[in-house]
């Protein structure tokens, strides 16, 4: 039981930390309080956009807020895998833009999101096994 408690602590820290930071980063795309997000767009990519960089980053913000909410609610596994892939794509853009330090951070966040998705999958499997075991015990009594 003691080990499970530590794993639960780590799981909830990952879930709350990643979910809330993803949501807040998305929300900040509308205010630019943390940073000017448009500066992270690779010029070659921005030139090909059918909208302005500001409009594009606001769209990115909406997606990030949805992913953050997914991590914090019942879609943790799917949203975490989505965050992992999303962050790797962002890291690729950052490398092309020469922002290597931020790219490394995003790769680490992608690995964290992947670990959370795997942990959520394990938790779902464990709950499923418990439900099956409880159902079998109920049928034995009947």
Q: pLDDT tens-digit profile of 18-29?
A: 999 999 999 999
The reported pTM is 0.83
If one compares 128 and 64, the residue with the highest pLDDT of the two is: 64
The Cα–Cα gap between 136 and 142 comes to 10
Angstrom CA distances, 83 to 16, 74, 88, 90, 127, stand at: 14, 15, 9, 10, 24
Identify the pLDDT of residue 2. Answer: 42
The 8-class DSSP code of residue 31 comes to T
Q: How many CB atoms lie within 10 A of CB 29?
A: 21
Half-sphere exposure of 27 (CA within 13 A, CB side): 8
Q: pLDDT tens-digit profile of 74-131?
A: 999 999 999 999 999 999 999 999 999 999 999 999 999 999 999 999 998 888 877 6
Closest to 83 in 3D by CA, of 66, 100, 99: 66
Q: pLDDT tens-digit profile of 6-22?
A: 778 899 999 999 999 99
The total number of residues written for the chain in this structure: 142
Are 69 and 19 in contact, with CB atoms under 8 Å apart?
yes
């Amino acid at each position: 039981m003691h080990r499970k408690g530590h794993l639960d602590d780590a799981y909830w820290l990952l879930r709350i930390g990643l979910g809330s930071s993803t949501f807040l980063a998305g929300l900040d795309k509308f205010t630019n309080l943390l940073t000017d997000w448009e500066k992270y767009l690779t010029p070659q990519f921005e030139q090909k956009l059918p909208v302005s960089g500001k409009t594009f980053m606001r769209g990115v913000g909406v997606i990030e807020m949805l992913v953050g909410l997914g991590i914090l609610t019942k879609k943790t596994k799917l949203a975490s895998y989505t965050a992992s892939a999303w962050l790797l794509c962002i890291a690729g853009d950052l490398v092309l833009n020469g922002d290597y330090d931020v790219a490394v951070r995003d790769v680490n966040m992608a690995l964290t999101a992947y670990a959370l998705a795997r942990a959520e999958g394990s938790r779902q499997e464990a709950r499923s096994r418990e439900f099956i075991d409880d159902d079998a015990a109920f049928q034995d009594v009947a």
